[in-house]
Chains A and B, each alone.
Chain A
C-alpha cells in the first residue's frame, strides 16, 4: 500500500523533519499528533505529491508519488470547498478532473452525499452550509473520487466541540463502510486517541516520529466513553509532557 521511506525535508538548508519511515496497509489508519508549526502539513503535502521531498521516497501501490494524483484525496483544514461551485459541483469536481461522464459522476456524488447525510442541498453554495455540513461535503468529495488513500489536515479544528465529535463519528463509520486508509494530522490528543489505530507523535527539532502508539480499540462501539479511550489519552499525554 503506502510506503514512506527515510523522508527528510529541508527549507533554506534547515531540516524541518527527518528520518520519517512508515508503512500503511489497506485497512489501516494513522493519526500524526504534533504541535502547531512542527511540519505536519508539510509532511501531508509531500505524501500528496504537491511538493517533493529533499530526500526519501513515497510509494503508493508500488508507484512513486511525484505529483498530485486522484488516487490520493486531501481534505484541508478549512474544508477547501470552492465557493463558486454548488455542493454537487464541488463533490463532482474530482470525478470531473478524472474524466468521468456527467451522469455517472452525478450519481456517484449524490450517493456519497446521502451516505454522509447531506440531502437535497446539491444546488446550494457552500457559503450557505454550517461548518459541520461543509466538512461533510469535503469528506464526500474525497470519498467520491474513490481514492486509495485519504489525507486530512486538521479537518475538524475549526468546528465546535459537539460538531467535531459528531464528524469524528461520521468519519469512523464511513471508514468502516468504505475501507480507504487514512492519515490524519491533528494537535488534539483526544482526536488522535479516538481516530487513530496508530498514533505517531511528531516532535523534536528537526521533527521525527518519536513514538508510535498502537490503539487497537479505536473504532469499537462506544469507544469514546470507554476506559480504554481515557487510558489512551492518559498514555499519550504523559509521553508528550515528558518529550514535547
Chain B
C-alpha cells in the first residue's frame, strides 16, 4: 500500500496543481468552453465505470502498445547492429540520417495509401516515429559502452553471438527503454492525430467526436483518458526497465 502511494504521490501532487490552475481559468472563462474541474472529474469518475470509455481506451491502448512493440522489434536490434558493426553502420547510416529529420507524420498519406484506413496504418505511423528514436538512441548507446566490457567477454573465448547476448544486448537495454519512455508522450500525441479520422474507435475519436458535438464534458473525458494512457505507457516502460535492467538503478 505504502509502495503504491509512493508511486502515485508525484502524480497526485501534479493533478492537484493542474486542478487548481484549471479552477482559476474556469472561473474566468465561459463554463461551456471550459467546464469546472469538479464537473469534469465527476463525469470522468462516472465514465470509468462505463463500457464505452474502456472500449475506446483499449482501442487506443492496443494501437499504442502494438506500435511500441514493432518499434522495439525493428529499432533495437538495428541500433545494436549499427552501433557495433562498422559495416552495418556505414551501410545504413546514410539512409537513417537522411530520413531522420523528415517529420514522419507527413508520410501518413503514403502509409494510408499502402496499408489502408484501418488499424495497421495507424500503428505503423506511430511505430515509424518511435522506431527511429529507439534505433538512434540504442545505436549511440552501444557506441558509448566501454570497450573493456566487451574485451573482457571476448577474452573468455566468447563467440560473436555470446558477446551480443552477454554484453551488447543487456548493456543496450537501458538506452532502448529511455528512448521509449522519452517518446511515450510523442506516441500519444500521434495516436490522437491518427485517431481523429477514418475511425470510430479510440480516445482520439472520442475527443474529436465530442468536440464536434460541442459536448465539452465528454471531450475532457477523452483528454483525461489520453493522459491516463500516457501514464500507463510510461509506467509500463518503467516496470519493464526494472524487470530487465535491475542493475541499472542499483546503489553504487
CA separation between A243 and B250, bound complex, in Å? 49
Chain A residues near B154: list those with CB within 8 A. Answer: 50, 68
B199 within 8 A of A: no
A-B contact list, 25 entries, CB within 8 Å: A68-B157, A68-B158, A69-B157, A72-B155, A73-B155, A74-B151, A76-B155, A80-B149, A80-B152, A80-B155, A82-B149, A82-B167, A83-B247, A84-B248, A85-B247, A96-B166, A97-B157, A97-B166, A98-B157, A125-B246, A125-B250, A127-B247, A127-B252, A128-B250, A128-B252
Binding site for B on A (CB under 8 A): 48, 50, 67-74, 76-78, 80-86, 93-94, 96-98, 125, 127-128, 145
CA separation between A190 and B148, bound complex, in Å? 26
Q: Is the interface of A mostly helix, strand, loop or mixed?
A: loop
Chain B residues near A81: list those with CB within 8 A. Answer: 152
CA separation between A71 and B158, bound complex, in Å? 12
Interface string of B172-199 (1 = CB under 8 A from A): 0100000000000000000000000000
Chain A residues near B170: list those with CB within 8 A. Answer: 82, 84-85
Interface string of B230-252 (1 = CB under 8 A from A): 00000000000000011110111
B148-A80 in contact (CB<8A): yes
Binding site for A on B (CB under 8 A): 148-149, 151-158, 162, 166-167, 170-171, 173, 245-248, 250-252
Q: A125-B247, A127-B250, A127-B252 are in contact. Are A82 and B152 (CB under 8 A)?
A: yes
B156-A82 in contact (CB<8A): no
Chain B residues near A72: list those with CB within 8 A. Answer: 155
Chain B residues near A50: list those with CB within 8 A. Answer: 151, 154-155
A68-B156 in contact (CB<8A): yes
B170 → chain A closest CB, angstroms? 4
Counting from the closest, the 8 A-B pairs by CB-CB distance are A80-B152, A74-B155, A127-B252, A70-B157, A84-B170, A94-B156, A125-B247, A125-B250
